[in-house]
């Protein structure tokens, strides 16, 4: 590579900084394209890897095994709480984890131990959205599909009620 496209790197870094939480290369690529940038997906992948390697971005794996990135406010060692639905992230300290990791490594004769601990869940907003009526209707439909006889019995029940 003779030429280094620093403008592309700047655009990726900028977009990452604007993102509300952890994003995948594909997410970021889509955002950049919406903003009118002709940047390629391969370039976004490569640039994110470079930013992660230089410590300018945090990289971790989503539960689905996808690499996700964030421009973190703290550069030191830290952990995250990440919403698996919207990607929103909270940086957290985990003193118990630090002590436990040191102790466990030492107990097995390990030195220079490092660890990666992140918590994936649903944020408050996404939890509230999941509790919305639309989700309940879908759950009822799913339950009926899973147990057609039970659903049929329930549907037939009112006809058997006499007074």
The single residue among 71, 72, 129, 144 that binds Zn ion, judged by CB under 5 A, is: 72
Number of residues that bind Zn ion (CB under 5 A): 10
Residue 126 touching Zn ion (CB under 5 A):
yes
Residue 123 touching Zn ion (CB under 5 A):
yes
Look-up: residue for tokens 């509230």?
128
Long-range contacts of 107-116 (CB under 8 A, 24+ apart): 116/60
Residue 59 touching Zn ion (CB under 5 A):
no
| Burial grade of 115 (CB within 10 A; 0-12, 13-18, 19 or more) | middle
The single residue among 56, 67, 85, 151 that binds Zn ion, judged by CB under 5 A, is: 85
72 is in an annotated binding site: no
Residue 86 touching Zn ion (CB under 5 A):
yes
Residue 44 touching Zn ion (CB under 5 A):
no
- Rounded to a whole number of angstroms, the distance between the first and last alpha carbons of the chain is 85
CB of 27 to Zn ion, least distance (A): 14
Stretch that binds Zn ion, among 12-20, 48-56, 65-73, 153-161 (CB under 5 A): 65-73
Contact 91, 80 (CB under 8 A): yes
Alpha-helical regions (H) of the chain: 6-18, 25-34, 41-53, 95-107, 124-130, 133-146, 148-160
CB of 98 to Zn ion, least distance (A): 5
Binding-site residue ranges: 77, 83, 86, 98, 115, 123, 126
* Binding positions for Zn ion, rule: CB under 5 A: 58, 72, 83, 85-86, 88, 91, 98, 123, 126
């Amino acid at each position: 590579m003779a030429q280094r496209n620093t403008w592309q790197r700047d655009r990726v870094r900028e977009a990452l900084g604007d993102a509300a939480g952890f994003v995948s290369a594909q997410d970021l690529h889509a955002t950049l394209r919406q903003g009118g940038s002709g940047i390629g997906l391969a370039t976004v992948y490569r640039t994110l890897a470079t930013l992660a390697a230089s410590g300018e971005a945090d990289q971790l794996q989503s539960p689905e095994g996808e690499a996700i990135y964030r421009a973190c406010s703290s550069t030191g060692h830290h952990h995250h709480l990440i919403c698996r639905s919207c990607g929103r992230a909270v940086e957290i300290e985990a003193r118990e984890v630090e002590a436990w990791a040191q102790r466990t490594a030492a107990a097995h004769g390990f030195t220079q131990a490092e660890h990666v601990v992140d918590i994936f869940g649903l944020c408050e907003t996404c939890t509230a959205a999941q509790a919305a009526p639309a989700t309940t209707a879908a759950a009822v439909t799913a339950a009926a599909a899973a147990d057609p006889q039970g659903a049929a019995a329930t549907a037939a029940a009112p006809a058997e009620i006499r007074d």
